Amino acid sequence: MMVRGMGVGRLPGRIAKVNYTDAAYGLVFDDVLSMWGHRDSLLDPCHNYVAMATSYFQNSTYVARYYVVYMMAKWVEWVSPPRYEGGRFTAEGYAAPVMKPEVFAVYYAKYESNPASRHSYDVGDLYLCKYLDPPLPCKDVQAPTGVFTVEKTQDGRWRIKIDASVALDRPGLYTFMIIAEDLRGIKWKPMSPWGDARVGKCRIMEYTVAK
Protein backbone atom coordinates (compact mmCIF):
# COMPACT_ATOMS: atom_id res chain seq x y z
CA MET A 1 0.00 0.00 0.00
CA MET A 2 1.24 3.48 -0.88
CA VAL A 3 0.09 6.65 0.85
CA ARG A 4 0.93 10.19 -0.14
CA GLY A 5 -0.15 12.99 2.21
CA MET A 6 -0.81 16.64 1.49
CA GLY A 7 -1.30 19.08 4.37
CA VAL A 8 -3.45 22.21 4.12
CA GLY A 9 -4.44 24.86 6.63
CA ARG A 10 -8.20 24.57 6.34
CA LEU A 11 -10.66 22.63 4.24
CA PRO A 12 -12.51 24.62 1.58
CA GLY A 13 -16.29 24.61 1.53
CA ARG A 14 -16.17 21.84 -1.07
CA ILE A 15 -13.33 19.28 -1.13
CA ALA A 16 -10.97 19.85 -4.04
CA LYS A 17 -11.08 17.32 -6.86
CA VAL A 18 -8.68 14.45 -6.29
CA ASN A 19 -5.65 14.44 -8.59
CA TYR A 20 -4.32 10.90 -8.70
CA THR A 21 -2.02 11.73 -11.60
CA ASP A 22 0.05 14.08 -9.45
CA ALA A 23 0.01 11.60 -6.55
CA ALA A 24 1.23 8.71 -8.71
CA TYR A 25 3.87 10.91 -10.34
CA GLY A 26 5.24 11.81 -6.92
CA LEU A 27 5.32 8.16 -5.83
CA VAL A 28 7.43 7.25 -8.88
CA PHE A 29 9.75 10.23 -9.23
CA ASP A 30 9.88 11.70 -5.69
CA ASP A 31 10.09 8.63 -3.47
CA VAL A 32 13.56 8.85 -1.97
CA LEU A 33 12.22 9.04 1.63
CA SER A 34 10.72 5.58 1.14
CA MET A 35 13.89 4.32 -0.54
CA TRP A 36 11.97 3.98 -3.84
CA GLY A 37 9.75 1.19 -2.51
CA HIS A 38 6.56 2.92 -3.69
CA ARG A 39 8.07 3.46 -7.14
CA ASP A 40 9.05 -0.20 -7.40
CA SER A 41 5.62 -1.38 -6.30
CA LEU A 42 3.88 0.75 -8.93
CA LEU A 43 6.15 -0.48 -11.73
CA ASP A 44 6.39 -4.14 -10.65
CA PRO A 45 4.90 -6.25 -13.49
CA CYS A 46 3.59 -8.72 -10.90
CA HIS A 47 0.89 -6.17 -10.03
CA ASN A 48 -1.98 -6.37 -12.49
CA TYR A 49 -4.69 -4.58 -10.45
CA VAL A 50 -4.81 -1.33 -8.50
CA ALA A 51 -7.21 0.13 -5.93
CA MET A 52 -7.32 3.88 -5.21
CA ALA A 53 -8.89 5.89 -2.42
CA THR A 54 -8.70 9.27 -0.73
CA SER A 55 -8.94 9.93 3.00
CA TYR A 56 -8.95 13.09 5.08
CA PHE A 57 -7.75 13.86 8.58
CA GLN A 58 -8.64 17.02 10.49
CA ASN A 59 -8.15 18.43 13.99
CA SER A 60 -8.29 21.97 15.41
CA THR A 61 -5.03 23.06 13.77
CA TYR A 62 -4.31 20.78 10.84
CA VAL A 63 -6.01 19.19 7.86
CA ALA A 64 -4.44 16.51 5.68
CA ARG A 65 -5.51 14.72 2.54
CA TYR A 66 -4.08 11.28 1.80
CA TYR A 67 -4.02 9.54 -1.55
CA VAL A 68 -4.02 5.77 -1.07
CA VAL A 69 -2.83 3.53 -3.91
CA TYR A 70 -2.89 -0.23 -3.32
CA MET A 71 -1.21 -2.45 -5.90
CA MET A 72 -2.43 -6.04 -6.18
CA ALA A 73 -1.26 -9.25 -7.84
CA LYS A 74 -4.36 -11.23 -8.79
CA TRP A 75 -3.22 -14.41 -10.51
CA VAL A 76 -5.13 -17.18 -8.68
CA GLU A 77 -8.70 -18.40 -9.03
CA TRP A 78 -9.54 -19.76 -5.59
CA VAL A 79 -11.64 -22.88 -5.17
CA SER A 80 -11.16 -22.61 -1.41
CA PRO A 81 -9.75 -19.19 -0.42
CA PRO A 82 -6.86 -18.90 2.08
CA ARG A 83 -8.01 -19.52 5.65
CA TYR A 84 -6.34 -19.96 9.04
CA GLU A 85 -8.38 -21.59 11.78
CA GLY A 86 -7.63 -23.91 14.67
CA GLY A 87 -3.91 -24.01 14.00
CA ARG A 88 -4.28 -25.01 10.35
CA PHE A 89 -3.82 -23.04 7.15
CA THR A 90 -5.74 -24.20 4.08
CA ALA A 91 -6.02 -22.95 0.51
CA GLU A 92 -6.87 -24.43 -2.87
CA GLY A 93 -6.95 -22.79 -6.28
CA TYR A 94 -5.55 -22.45 -9.80
CA ALA A 95 -2.70 -20.08 -10.65
CA ALA A 96 -2.31 -18.60 -14.12
CA PRO A 97 0.01 -20.53 -16.49
CA VAL A 98 2.63 -17.74 -16.34
CA MET A 99 2.89 -17.96 -12.53
CA LYS A 100 4.56 -21.16 -11.32
CA PRO A 101 4.09 -21.53 -7.54
CA GLU A 102 7.52 -21.89 -5.97
CA VAL A 103 7.57 -21.13 -2.24
CA PHE A 104 5.14 -21.16 0.68
CA ALA A 105 6.28 -18.85 3.47
CA VAL A 106 5.02 -17.33 6.71
CA TYR A 107 6.39 -14.01 7.97
CA TYR A 108 6.11 -12.57 11.48
CA ALA A 109 5.97 -8.91 12.52
CA LYS A 110 5.65 -7.44 16.01
CA TYR A 111 2.89 -4.97 16.77
CA GLU A 112 3.94 -1.33 16.49
CA SER A 113 2.58 1.55 18.54
CA ASN A 114 2.64 4.01 15.62
CA PRO A 115 3.17 2.27 12.26
CA ALA A 116 1.85 5.30 10.35
CA SER A 117 5.08 7.16 11.20
CA ARG A 118 7.14 4.86 8.98
CA HIS A 119 8.12 5.75 5.42
CA SER A 120 8.23 2.12 4.29
CA TYR A 121 6.81 -1.22 5.36
CA ASP A 122 7.48 -4.94 5.10
CA VAL A 123 5.88 -8.16 6.30
CA GLY A 124 8.49 -8.83 8.98
CA ASP A 125 10.89 -11.71 9.48
CA LEU A 126 10.72 -15.13 7.84
CA TYR A 127 9.00 -17.50 10.29
CA LEU A 128 8.32 -20.68 8.27
CA CYS A 129 9.23 -21.68 4.72
CA LYS A 130 8.83 -24.58 2.32
CA TYR A 131 9.51 -25.07 -1.38
CA LEU A 132 6.45 -26.30 -3.27
CA ASP A 133 7.86 -27.92 -6.41
CA PRO A 134 9.54 -30.11 -5.37
CA PRO A 135 8.29 -29.95 -1.74
CA LEU A 136 11.55 -29.36 0.14
CA PRO A 137 12.44 -27.33 3.25
CA CYS A 138 14.08 -23.93 2.89
CA LYS A 139 17.62 -23.55 4.17
CA ASP A 140 18.01 -22.54 7.84
CA VAL A 141 14.26 -21.98 8.34
CA GLN A 142 11.75 -24.27 10.02
CA ALA A 143 9.35 -25.92 7.56
CA PRO A 144 5.61 -26.28 8.18
CA THR A 145 4.13 -29.77 8.04
CA GLY A 146 1.16 -30.89 6.01
CA VAL A 147 0.01 -31.29 2.41
CA PHE A 148 1.66 -29.09 -0.24
CA THR A 149 0.57 -29.92 -3.78
CA VAL A 150 1.42 -28.13 -7.03
CA GLU A 151 0.32 -29.75 -10.29
CA LYS A 152 0.20 -28.44 -13.86
CA THR A 153 -3.23 -29.01 -15.39
CA GLN A 154 -4.09 -29.74 -19.03
CA ASP A 155 -5.06 -26.11 -19.66
CA GLY A 156 -1.65 -24.93 -18.45
CA ARG A 157 -2.74 -23.59 -15.06
CA TRP A 158 -1.12 -24.60 -11.78
CA ARG A 159 -3.32 -26.35 -9.24
CA ILE A 160 -2.37 -25.42 -5.67
CA LYS A 161 -3.55 -27.29 -2.59
CA ILE A 162 -2.20 -26.56 0.89
CA ASP A 163 -3.33 -28.00 4.22
CA ALA A 164 -0.64 -27.19 6.76
CA SER A 165 -0.21 -27.17 10.52
CA VAL A 166 1.05 -23.73 11.59
CA ALA A 167 1.46 -22.74 15.25
CA LEU A 168 1.43 -19.01 15.96
CA ASP A 169 3.41 -18.86 19.19
CA ARG A 170 3.55 -15.14 20.08
CA PRO A 171 1.46 -11.98 19.65
CA GLY A 172 1.86 -10.14 16.37
CA LEU A 173 0.99 -10.26 12.69
CA TYR A 174 1.56 -13.39 10.61
CA THR A 175 1.51 -13.14 6.81
CA PHE A 176 1.05 -16.33 4.79
CA MET A 177 2.49 -16.04 1.32
CA ILE A 178 2.88 -18.00 -1.91
CA ILE A 179 5.69 -16.76 -4.12
CA ALA A 180 5.64 -17.75 -7.79
CA GLU A 181 8.21 -17.69 -10.56
CA ASP A 182 7.08 -15.26 -13.25
CA LEU A 183 7.53 -17.18 -16.51
CA ARG A 184 6.91 -14.15 -18.75
CA GLY A 185 10.56 -13.05 -18.60
CA ILE A 186 9.73 -9.34 -18.25
CA LYS A 187 12.82 -7.22 -17.60
CA TRP A 188 12.68 -4.17 -15.33
CA LYS A 189 15.00 -2.36 -12.91
CA PRO A 190 13.98 -1.74 -9.28
CA MET A 191 15.61 1.17 -7.43
CA SER A 192 15.04 0.16 -3.80
CA PRO A 193 18.01 -1.45 -1.95
CA TRP A 194 16.22 -4.80 -1.75
CA GLY A 195 14.51 -4.52 -5.15
CA ASP A 196 16.58 -6.97 -7.20
CA ALA A 197 15.22 -9.88 -5.13
CA ARG A 198 11.70 -9.24 -6.43
CA VAL A 199 12.53 -9.41 -10.15
CA GLY A 200 10.89 -12.50 -11.64
CA LYS A 201 9.19 -13.40 -8.33
CA CYS A 202 5.53 -12.60 -7.70
CA ARG A 203 3.57 -12.81 -4.48
CA ILE A 204 0.43 -14.47 -5.79
CA MET A 205 -1.05 -14.92 -2.31
CA GLU A 206 -0.78 -12.75 0.81
CA TYR A 207 -3.01 -13.50 3.79
CA THR A 208 -2.43 -11.87 7.18
CA VAL A 209 -3.81 -12.87 10.57
CA ALA A 210 -3.32 -11.26 13.96
CA LYS A 211 -2.70 -12.99 17.25
Q: Where exactly are the structural domains of the chain?
A: 2-72, 77-210
pTM: 0.82
60-69, 103-112, 146-155: least confident range: 60-69
pLDDT band at 126 (very low <50, low <70, confident <90, very high): very high
Check residue 72 and give its pLDDT.
92
Check residue 8 and give its pLDDT.
43
Cis peptide before 115 (omega within 30 of 0): no
The mean pLDDT of the chain is 86
- Would residue 64 be called left, alpha or beta, if left means φ above 0 and alpha means ψ between -120 and 50 degrees? beta
Check residue 120 and give its pLDDT.
63
Closest CA to 77 of 178, 208, 204, 209: 204
Residue 39 pLDDT more than 60?
A: yes
Q: What single DSSP character describes residue 10?
A: S
Sheet strand arrangement including 158-165: 76-85, 88-95, 158-165, 145-152
User: Per-residue DSSP letters for 169-211?
Assistant: -SSSEEEEEEEEEETT-------STTGGGGTTEEEEEEEEEE-
pLDDT band at 9 (very low <50, low <70, confident <90, very high): very low
